[in-house]
Amino acid sequence: MQLSTALSLVNSNNVTEFQNLAEILSPEIISAGLKEHGISTIRKRKLPMENMVWAVIGMALFRKFPMRQMLNQLDIILPSGVPYVASSAVTQARKKLGSKVIETVFQQTQQQWNQDAHHGQWCGLNLLGVDGVVWRAPDTDENNKEFAKTGTQHGKASYPQVRMVCQMELTSHLLTNSVFDSVDVNEMNLALGLIDKTPDNSLTLFDRGFYSLGLLHRWQSTGKARHWLMPLKKNTQYEVIKSIGRQDKLILLTTTPQSRKKFPELPKTMQARLITKKVKGKDLQILTSMTDPMRFPSADIVDLYAHRWEIELGFREMKQSLLDNRFTLRSNQPELIRQELWGILLAYNLIRYQMVLMAKSLDGIHPNQLSFNGASMHIIHELTQLSFCTPGNIPKYTMNITKSAKQFVLPSRRERQYPRMLKCSKNRYPVKSKNAVHLK
């Protein structure tokens, strides 16, 4: 059975055999994660630690159910005299499990699934994207102590927030790594935590908000052929070393004493490549570490930046589709918040890996060209029959998923008809119109 068996059965009958996911998420990976962090079930409990890993994943997959109801309806509670589990037992089991186990399972599975996906490459480089997203945590005393609240001139937000920076493979939307902390931690500081596990022979696309010569130098100097690309930040000072082409230049960037103090390995100057292209009447300038013009043609480099928006689509799929627009997380304690977030990332990768398998059945189609909502709904519809069919017929229904994948290919994305415009900020007080008619 596939991952979506669990999804389909819970939507049709509100009861599912959660262990059907074991064919995708190996029990050996879960056991290894528990063993690595010294966590095990010493005596027989209703909620053994192996099952609690599935429960954390289920918190994201079945967002519409309260935690206790989900556990009682899913087949992950060991048989006993009482066919339900108390809320206090769920919290106690989640605390014992912690967040590190889920993080380890995520890291192990993403490595395996990304390797199996056989991603498309550009000039021998895998395309990665890095960007940040903010999650809202429940307003509890524990969360308020750990996570800050964003503030404006009108006051602070009502909820503590968590800032997350993710790294995503852009052709499949499979996540490769993530780092998160309080919302008052800068995205560039969080991105430093992604460097060590960034794959070699890769090109990472950044937004201009990540412009930091210390970050970029460490990114490209760690590992082998780890390149980066981003738009040139406004008012950036540079010196032209030589002109490679009409709109293609090799430039020299000067680092500041403050950045060299923070990054001791950072040199005083740093070479980069600046490519300019006119897009819709405006000059778009792209800065990159790919300084070899023979291997990396300038005609394609500027167009590559448009692929950075794939990670934004992935964040939308997580928040709107996977979590059903429930933007506030469930957990009331910081460690359980971290556990829940790793569970969301793991659940998202589970679904995305199924879409990778669907895309493999189509010629010339990447997983990011399939509709996330449409593919998920079809998988749910097809696999509702698995609980009623004989084991010999299961492969037939499973194959129907890949055979029907073609209908979920998205049409070509349309160009924006109207340019982006800056809207006026809202006024706290009503604006009196000159032509207003005053009624007596």
Please write the tens of the pLDDT for every residue from 125-136: 999 999 999 999
pLDDT in tens, 168-188: 999 999 999 999 999 999 999
- Do residues 241 and 250 lie in contact, with contact meaning Cβ atoms separated by under 8 Å? yes
Burial class (CB in 10 A: 0-12, 13-18, 19+), 375: buried
Q: Do 145 and 206 belong together in one domain?
A: yes
Query: Which band of pLDDT confidence, cut at 50, 70 and 90, is reported for residue 160?
Result: very high
Q: Do 96 and 49 belong together in one domain?
A: yes
In a domain, 110, yes or no: no
d(CA 155, CA 118): 48
Q: Do 223 and 293 belong together in one domain?
A: yes
Query: Which band of pLDDT confidence, cut at 50, 70 and 90, is reported for residue 248?
Result: very high
pLDDT at 416 exceeding the cut of 90: no
pLDDT at 203 exceeding the cut of 80: yes
The boundaries of the domain holding residue 216 are 119-313
Q: Do 127 and 202 belong together in one domain?
A: yes
Read out DSSP for 366-411?
Answer: -GGGB-HHHHHHHHHHHHTTTTTS-GGGHHHHHHHHHHTGGGGBPP
Q: Do 94 and 40 belong together in one domain?
A: yes
Q: Do 84 and 185 belong together in one domain?
A: no
User: Total structural domains in the chain?
Assistant: 2
Q: Do 275 and 346 belong together in one domain?
A: no
Q: Do 40 and 146 belong together in one domain?
A: no
Instruction: Please tell me the predicted confidence (pLDDT) of residue 144.
Output: 94
What three-state secondary structure class fits 50? helix
Query: Which band of pLDDT confidence, cut at 50, 70 and 90, is reported for residue 358?
Result: confident
Q: Do 273 and 355 belong together in one domain?
A: no
* Of 119 and 84, the one with more pLDDT: 119
Instruction: Please tell me the predicted confidence (pLDDT) of residue 424.
Output: 67
Q: Which of 226, 168, 159, 218 has its CA nearest to residue 188?
A: 218
**Strands 202-205 vs 175-182: parallel, antiparallel or unpaired:** unpaired
Instruction: Please tell me the predicted confidence (pLDDT) of residue 274.
Output: 95
Instruction: State which of 313, 345, 361 marks the end of a domain.
Output: 313
Instruction: Please tell me the predicted confidence (pLDDT) of residue 3.
Output: 44
Angle CA 41–47–53, to nearest 5? 85
* Of 373 and 320, the one with more pLDDT: 320
The enclosing H or E element of 355 equals helix 334-360
Distances (CA, A) of 431 to 323, 424, 428, 435, 436: 39, 13, 9, 12, 10
Instruction: Please tell me the predicted confidence (pLDDT) of residue 6.
Output: 43
Residues 12-39, mean pLDDT to the nearest whole number: 65
Q: Do 334 and 276 belong together in one domain?
A: no
Instruction: Please tell me the predicted confidence (pLDDT) of residue 75.
Output: 57
Specify the pTM: 0.84
Bridge partners, residue 253, by sequence? 270
pLDDT at 426 exceeding the cut of 70: no
In a domain, 64, yes or no: yes
Length of the chain, please?
440
Q: Do 133 and 246 belong together in one domain?
A: yes
Q: Do 139 and 207 belong together in one domain?
A: yes
